[in-house]
Amino acid sequence: MSGMMIGGTDLIFSVRRADFDIRSVLEAILDLWPHAVFEEADGEGTQPLAEVCGRKVFPSEEFFISRDAAAAKSWDEQGATPENANDLVHILWGQPSGPAGQPQLTVVVGSLTDEMIRLRDAIHARTNEGPPPRP
């Protein structure tokens, strides 16, 4: 998927928990998409998200998560379409740029459908306290 530009809605979370671990966000996505697959932003090929959650070290700061292998294939072959726009999320994290140098997590979704709002709320519950971010 390298080089592919995606549009959509940016959801920006200021991570306020000192013990934040990106795997908690991956687990929140896995709860909604049990067959999700992971792809490095500059990589080729996918792997089951459940396997990625088991890593001891997670160095990636930019990656994609697709609903399942078929969704990843659709994005690879067609890019974003109205039918698949919310079958993939683009995640960027780890750079201290929030208030007081806190890390920020950006999740790019196609649009805020009911499912993407559930995803936003699940991620928010894992990252900080206070109201969920607005696009």
Give the start-to-end residue ranges of the domains of the chain.
9-127
Confidence grade of residue 99 (pLDDT, cut at 50, 70, 90): low
- Show the CA angle centred on residue 113, arms to residues 48 and 7, nearest 5°: 70
For residue range 3-34, what is the model confidence (pLDDT) as tens digits?
454 568 999 887 776 667 888 899 999 999 99
Mapping DSSP to helix (H, G, I), strand (E, B) and coil, where does residue 44 land? Answer: coil
Give the residue-averaged pLDDT of 59-81: 92
The CATH fold of domain 9-127: TATA-Binding Protein (3.30.310)
Higher pLDDT, 89 or 95: 89
Give the residue-averaged pLDDT of 67-87: 93
Confidence grade of residue 96 (pLDDT, cut at 50, 70, 90): low
Residue 58 buriedness (CB in 10 A; 0-12 / 13-18 / 19+): middle
Query: Of 14-28, 95-109, 118-132, which gets the smallest average pLDDT?
Result: 95-109
